[in-house]
Structure 1
Amino acid sequence: MADQSTPPASSQNARPRKSQGRPGEKHSAEKAAPANGTPEKTAAGAPSPQGAISRRRLLGTAGATGIVLGTAGAVAGHAATPSEKTVPLTSLGTDRVAFHGTHQPGITDALQARGHLIAFDLAAGAGRKEAAALLRRWSATAERLMAGETAAHDDTGVARDAGPSSLTITFGFGNSFFARTGLEKQRPSALDPLPEFSSDRLDPRRSNGDLWVQIGADDALVAFHALRTVQKEAGGAARLRWQMNGFNRSPGATAHPMTARNLMGQIDGTRNPKPAEPDFDRRVFVPSSGGPAWMANGSYAVVRRIRMLLDDWERLPLRAQEEVIGRRKSDGAPLSGGTETTAMDLERTGADGKPVVPLTAHARITRPDQNGGAAMLRRPFSYHDGFDADGTPDAGLLFVCWQADPLRGFVPVQRKLDRGDALSRFIRHEASGLFAAPGGAAKGEYVGQRLLEG
């Protein structure tokens, strides 16, 4: 729950990705504009840029009432006859992220509305050969689905009629993967197990894993279709270890671009590092030298299921909530004054002589300048998994953060939070994982090929 968190859709956090030249494809910066990354919308009834609607183009989006399908004034629920030419209501479904590139998709791209995190363990008897075949299958599938195409075999039809919807699929390797594949000498030291923290109440059944997959999309059915396809294509090579579902605010849900709110109602994503910053790559991506060659241009993902104790939190008066975070709840501005993006004045004191931003405020403790420059690119999803028997909500944050080295990113910040973060009373870390996501696959390659065939 660091203050340097990712907005749900921010062009400042969306890194341009090369287009592969396919019709309708947008790289990340195009998808992310304007300021919060909400894709530009086509006016209702506007003609398709290509004059025809593909089999999986978006036909409509929820929440738009009274919008017509065409100039004839048909209502949104109208079912087109075969002879009619349908027009998509918005461009949301046509937005596409390229699979191939220097980095894997789903790291610097703007947050999607729906997400799934899933971990696998290699099956008994499966080794390097089986892992290579699996990553080859998964990569081919990711390329197809991210382009808005069907799965190569036994497609379920779940995503029929929808476009790519900004789908991203990202792959990573856990610490245990290397022993199972005989690649211990290739395991980077950055994958050493994370230390224990005082707020940890970790369930080992929902932690770690040999392989990890992150799926995100701006349409729930597109995201589920990818999840189901990835799971089926694991075949006999890997078995499911755990799976989690998340969500964010849908693009275009607000009247103007703005940073997201988490389930505590706080604006969450103000101080995330941005690709335009000169040290962004150094903080987020592994350099081409100084580490395992197969991890060049890759990144390390720390994954945490953080439960929010919402009943306790919601009993706090507004002012007390703001002092826990160090920011105003209404607009995310620091308690020291200004707007959301105003630099926090840690030296300012009130009439009582005490710091306006409390010493234990979450936003103070997580500032990079208070942690030796330690920073990470946070790209989380919220989650809600129902209620306990007493009505307590099982809800919170699927925390995902990316960094070049977790020992310089996540670990020092979390250690400092452990020692005095006021927010720690209202959260509980219930699952954890650390995964190495290699660099992006070039055309004709699969993710992890340099490791598995090197």
Structure 2
Amino acid sequence: MSKQNPRKQTAAKQATAKQATAKQPTGGKNPGTRPGTGSAGAGGGRIPAPAAAPAAPAPEADGAAAKEFSRRRLLGTVGAAGAAGLVVGGAGGAAGVSAAQDDAPKALSTLGSTKVPFRPARAGHQAGITTPLQAKGHLVAFDLAPGSDRKDAAALLRRWSRTAEELMAGRAPDADTGVALDAGPSSLTVTFGFGHSFFGRTGLTKRRPLELDPLPDFSADALDPKSSNGDLWIQIGADDALVAFHALRALQKDAAGRARLRWQMNGFNRTPGATAHPMTTRNLMGQIDGTNNPKPSDQDFDERIFVGRDADQAWMRGGSYAVVRRIRMLLDDWEKRSRHDQERVIGRRKDNGAPLTGGSEGTPMRLDANGPDGMPVIPANAHARIAAPESNQGAAMLRRPFSYHDGFREDGAPDAGLLFICWQADPLRAFTQVQRKLDRGDALSPFLRHEASGLFAVPPAAEPGDYVGRPLLEG
């Protein structure tokens, strides 16, 4: 692999392209595709550029445009595409749900060009919370290195924020590995959070929110402490596996000397555009997993998901709390059950996600409906019934998980399930309230094992020129 500076390579390619264009006869046929205007298709082949393709961006003084063009050179002039829809799901913590967009699915060749801003305009929330769910995800937790203090933590968050902003813009950071050199941003998001232990290690216990108090124990828990909690948490999502890994590797390298890895989990979802039209995803149990998630258009969405302006800790206003659970599904046991039995466990039809009381996926459940035998059509212990907001004094959370498969266990059973992630303004009034009720008699619980857990305070997005968490660390 050449060690030549990629910025110089990019500038040279642009100069060559400019010279070739100048020599082309006026009115004549273009003898071939101009350098840098092709696009990588789903199978890796080249797609001819549009006839009226604009020229590549000229390098700026700081090299930012050149770096972005080098990273995205195979995307050429393909227009930016929105994701097929916000698809989120959950199992064991609550019924998962989707808030699909109305847009038709975009061509797969545009997938890599979708960019999510590191500093989103909407209310200053970090990316990766209301962002449409991506195809590939990494969850990773770090503990500060022994002897590290508040100053070291601030330096790390400053470096991480700079790296995340570059990567999400489709640019390669300094000392880049080149793993994602040929890809666009691919809807990359990087989200940062603080665990309960972070505040003690940095001398900030007085600024630790009460909402970050440890989650209670649940009877179904079989938690591995080594794979739970942590000082710092990062959620990475992207629609390309190499782009996601590239971000993970860059952030892990940034942590050297200041923080060490505590645990890592890798997940996946259906790739946007893989279905004929936007639809709710299925989990590894084959169930449509997501129907009634809170939607950003709901009047009380921000109140339920994001910390309000009256919060005691000013640095968390506009932020959210993430509950993370690694939930293994006992798929061998589940798959032995008939479809009829599975549907009664969930409370919804397996083929289209409709409630057992009838209608389509979006039809409200009729929790008071009884069958000819006088028994509830949706069983009293059905997962969807117990987790419904109507059964929990309106408690709701935004579920945004990934499925996972980590190989097979010694008995041949798949080590697979759900990386459950939910967002809320107050975990005690959302996740904990719902999980306590599920813990007392959810028909789905015998098919699940909660093996890891974490709760993290996720502050709002960084202000321009700032880094994530600065109001906490320097306020």
1:68 positional shift: 6.6
Matched residue type, 2:332 = D
Partners of 1:174 and 1:434 within 8 A in 2 = yes
Q: Deviations over 1:388-444 (max 9, x none)?
A: 122110000000000001001100000000001000000010000000000111110
Contact persistence 2:158–2:467 (CA under 8 A): yes
Q: State which of 324, 328, 350 in structure 2 corresponds to 1:303.
A: 324
1:85 to partner: Cα distance: 11
What is the 5 A alignment of 1:219-238?
A: 219-238=240-259
Distance 1:85 1:133, change over 3 A: closer
Find 1:59's aligned residue among 24, 40, 43.
40
Query: For residue 205 of structure 2, what is the aligned residue in structure 1?
Result: 184
Pair 215,85 (structure 1): closer, same or farther in 2 beyond 3 Å: closer
Instruction: Tell whether the 8 Å contact from 2:322 to 2:456 is kept in structure 1 after alignment.
Output: yes
In structure 1, distance between residues paired with 2:35 and 2:222: 53
1:107 corresponds, among 129, 145, 148, to 129
Question: Residue 167 of structure 2 is aligned with which of 145, 149, 157?
Answer: 145
Which of 414, 432, 435 lines up with 2:435 in the alignment?
A: 414
Higher gyration radius (CA):
2
Q: For the Cα contact (< 8 Å) 1:174–1:211, is it kept in 2?
A: yes
Q: How is 1:329-368 mapped onto 2 (pairs within 5 angstroms)?
A: 329-368=350-389
Give per-residue Cα distances to partners, 1:11-54, cap 9 Å, x unaligned: xxxxxxxxxxxxxxxxxxxxxxxxxxxxxxxxxxxxxxxx9848
Counterpart mapping for 1:48-447 below 5 A: 53=36, 59-62=40-43, 69-70=47-48, 90-101=109-120, 102-152=124-174, 154-447=175-468
Which amino acid is the alignment partner of residue 190 of structure 1?
E
Contact 1:287 1:296 in 2 (8 A): yes
State the secondary structure of the residue aligned to 2:427: coil
By how many angstroms is 1:257 displaced?
Answer: 1.1
Q: Is the 8 A contact 2:221 2:450 kept in 1?
A: yes
Q: Which runs of 5+ in 2 are unaligned?
A: 1-33, 51-73, 79-107
TM-fit CA distance, 1:171: 0.2
Q: Residue type of the partner of 1:425? A: P
**Contact between 2:40 and 2:75, CA under 8 Å: does it hold in 1?**
no
2:474 aligned partner? 453
- CA 1:94–1:422: 2 relative to 1, 3 Å: same
CA distance in 2, matches of 1:53, 1:341: 45
Q: Is residue 75–residue 184 contact of structure 2 (8 Å, CA) maintained in 1? A: no
> How far apart, in 2, do the equivalents of 1:134 and 1:118 lie?
15
Q: Deviations over 1:316-351 (max 9, x none)?
A: 000000000000000000000000000000111111
Corresponding residue SS for 1:222: helix
1:79 is matched with none
Deviations 1:183-225 (A, max 9, x none): 0000000010000001100000000000000000000000000
Q: Distance in 2 between matches of 1:254 and 1:113?
A: 13
- 2:24 aligned residue: none
Assess, with a 3 A threshold, how the Cα gap between structure 1 residues 71 and 140 changes in structure 2: closer, same or farther: closer
* CA-CA distance at 1:290 after TM superposition: 2.5
C-alpha separation between the residues in 1 aligned to 2:179 and 2:312? 41
* Structure 1 residues 52 and 360: alpha-carbon distance in aligned structure 2, compared to 1, 3 A threshold: farther
Contact 1:70 1:87 in 2 (8 A): no
Q: Secondary structure at the match of 1:390?
A: coil
Shift of 1:385: 0.1
Checking the alignment, whether the CA contact within 8 Å between 2:398 and 2:424 is kept in structure 1 is yes
2:65 aligned residue: none
Q: What's the RMSD between the two structures over aligned residues? A: 1.8
Query: 2:180 is matched by which residue type in structure 1?
Result: A
- Code of the residue aligned with 1:109 in structure 2: it is T
How far off its partner does 1:91 sit?
A: 1.1
Query: CA deviation digits over 1:37-89, x for unaligned, max 9?
Result: xxxxxxxxxxxxxx9848xx962325x9xx872389xxxxxxxxxxx997766
Give the secondary structure class of the aligned counterpart of 2:322: strand
SS of the residue corresponding to residue 422 of structure 1 reads coil
Q: Distance in 1 between matches of 2:436 and 2:324?
A: 16
Task: For 2:47 and 2:214, locate their aligned partners in 1 and report how far apart those are by CA, in whole Å.
Answer: 54
Q: How far apart are the structure 1 equivalents of 2:426 and 2:39?
A: 39
CA contact (8 A) 1:69 1:86 kept: no
Separation of aligned partners in 1, 2:162 and 2:381: 48
- Aligned to 2:47, what secondary structure does the other structure show? coil
The amino acid across from 2:109 in the alignment is T
Looking at structure 1, the residues matched to 386 and 456 of structure 2 have their Cα atoms a distance apart, in angstroms, of 25
Check whether the contact 1:58–1:162 (CA below 8 A) recurs between aligned residues.
Answer: no
Shift in CA distance, 287/52, structure 1 to aligned 2, threshold 3 Å: farther
CA change 1:432–1:58 in 2 (3 A) is: farther
Q: Aligned residues: percent identity?
A: 68
Conserved? CA contact 2:344–2:382, under 8 Å: yes
State the Cα deviation string for residues 161-187 of structure 1 (Å, max 9, x = none): 100000000000000000000000000
Query: 1:264-323 CA distances to partner (integer Å, 9 max, x unpaired)?
Result: 000011011000000000000001222300001000000000000000000000000000
Kindly report structure 1 stretches of 4+ aligned residues shifted beyond 4 Å.
Answer: 51-54, 84-89
Structure 2-normalised TM-score?
0.79
